[in-house]
Amino acid sequence: MRVEVRRNYPVKSLTAFKIGGSAENFYLPKTIEELVFLLDRVNNALVFGSWSNVLISSNGIKGDIISTQNLKEIKVDGTKVIAQCGVKGPAISRDVANYGLTGFEFMSGFPGSIGGNIYMNAGANNQCISDNLLKIRVYELKSKKIFEIKKEDLDFGYRTSLLQYKDYIVLDAEFDLIQSDKTSVLKQIQQNLDFRAAHQPNLAKPNAGSVFKNPEGTSAGKLLDEAGAKEFSVNSARVWANHANFIVNSDKNATSSDVLELMLKMYNAVLEKHGIKLHPEVKYFGVKTPREEEICNILYNQN
């Protein structure tokens, strides 16, 4: 089996942040079978979907990268929906709305893919990806086996799941949605989009979504706002003026170092004012400079 591969492929344009260098080996499977073929043979590969919740090093990524962007098949049978791992949130939200199915309205403004959304139990507007999930099919890297995991065994929590602690790659997922009517579902989607436009930067201002997770009992945005973070910037990386838990790449010239320095500045401001250590929601990948290594050790290796 031959799978499309590109060498030293620039990924900047793929990422929500519009930041990143080149991937040494960039694979583009077109089917689940091709994805499994790669996972069987390529060791230690990193798998990316929509590149929406990540910060990629401006110095690039060594080794093998597998992109699931072509794995976007959706099957609808009554209220049951099966989606491949690369399906993007807005696509499936619109698709099931046409069948009068409710449960995916919250993903209408999400740039993330099904695989990544399940990995982090993504949610918004009082809905989350695990609400209507039945089961997922995964590939286990260690055993090189495919098997199903039911929702109740996935240990879902706020922005967490079992997938964050296991060497599993999501292949596809099955959901059971609720029958409604197309008009009301589309109305809810529009309300969600309007809310998102008012409270979060759109992708015309490149960003990776919420920078830090909400601490228990409060919100990261509130803590950051009280710490004066809306005034913070490092070169082209700036805290969004309308919400302190977002970083925007204001002129698309920010580097990974700029973003990390700004994240550290935000983290330190909240720690100093409130005594609370914020935990990043954005994941960092790639070749680190010594300074980036230092910052990542502070932000990502907290006790």
Active site residue ranges: 159, 210, 281
Compute the distance between CA of residue 97 and CA of residue 232 in angstroms, rounded to an integer.
Answer: 40
Compute the distance between CA of residue 85 and CA of residue 139 in angstroms, rounded to an integer.
Answer: 12
Compute the distance between CA of residue 87 and CA of residue 112 in angstroms, rounded to an integer.
Answer: 8
Neighbours of 277 (CB within 10 A): 14
Strand ranges across the sheet with 247-249: 233-234, 237-239, 247-249
What DSSP designation does 257 have?
H
CA angle 222, 223, 228 (to 5 degrees): 95
The count of C-alpha atoms lying within 13 angstroms of the C-alpha of 30, restricted to the half-sphere facing its C-beta, is 5
Neighbours of 215 (CB within 10 A): 16
Q: Estimate the crossing angle of helix 256-274 against helix 290-300, to 10 degrees.
A: 40
Picking from 197, 209, 187, the residue whose alpha carbon sits closest to that of residue 105 is 187
CA gyration radius, the chain: 19
Compute the distance between CA of residue 78 and CA of residue 170 in angstroms, rounded to an integer.
Answer: 23
Under a CB-based contact definition with an 8 Å cutoff, are residues 84 and 43 in contact? no
- Return the sign of the alpha-carbon dihedral for residues 233, 237, 238, 244: negative
Compute the distance between CA of residue 168 and CA of residue 22 in angstroms, rounded to an integer.
Answer: 25
> Which residues lie closer than 8 Å to 265 by C-beta, 6 or more apart?
229, 232, 234
